[in-house]
Each structure stands twice: as structure tokens, then as C-alpha cells.
Amino acid sequence: NAGVTQTPKFRILKIGQSMTLQCAQDMNHNYMYWYRQDPGMGLKLIYYSVGAGITDKGEVPNGYNVSRSTTEDFPLRLELAAPSQTSVYFCASTPEEYYGYTFGSGTRLTVV
């Protein structure tokens, strides 16, 4: 049982480039989330999804986009990368709101 799988684990982007962070879960969880973690700031919610075809903005959505065409996959798209998007990105999922999240192993992104 793989849980939540994130790819890539590391990436360096140049300013203005675009990329997609992949997230897949094999637990049939309805709820999926993208967080970013900055030093000393905890985790901030970027986008979330309560099921296939349904997405909504979190606390810090600017500069990002998501889609949820299947229950399993929840990719995060960065358009026109900026240095402020240098961070560690986590994808997470949960079957119901009263459970804790299962997290992926994270993607460390550096924009130079």
C-alpha cells in the first residue's frame, strides 16, 4: 500500500518557468490537500479537493492551480515560477474530516 506518492522529491526551477507537482493516493480518499511549508511558518493550505471534479482555494492560492479529474490524482500546477514559491510542498489526503491526514514525503522546490 503506497499511501500518498509525490513526485518529484526535488526540483530547481528558473524564474518564469512552469511545472506540475504530482500527487497520487491509492487509499480511495475523497479529501486531498496541498500545503506549503516555509521555515518557521508551519504549513499553509494552498488548495484542497473534497472529491473528483471539486476543488477550492485555501489560504495561499495565488500563483498555483489544481485539478482533480480522478479520485486518485491531485496535481498542483505552478505557472510563471517566482522566488517566493521556493518552499517544501506537501500533498495529503484523508477519508473523512475527523481523521488525521496521510502526507506524502514532500517536494523541495527552489526557484532561482
CA nearest neighbour of 82 among 112, 102, 103, 41:
112
What is the total count of residues that contact another protein (CB under 8 A)? 24
Instruction: Give residues 2-61 in contact with another protein (rule: CB under 8 A).
Output: 33, 35, 40-43, 45, 48, 50, 56, 58
Q: How far is the CB of 110 from another protein (least distance, A)?
A: 15
Question: Distance between CA atoms of 20 and 79, rounded to whole angstroms?
Answer: 9
CA nearest neighbour of 27 among 76, 93, 90, 74:
93
Q: Does 90 bind another protein (CB under 8 A)?
A: yes
From first CA to last CA, the distance across the chain in angstroms is 36
**Which residues are near another protein by CB under 8 A?**
33, 35, 40-43, 45, 48, 50, 56, 58, 88, 90, 92, 97-103, 105-106, 108
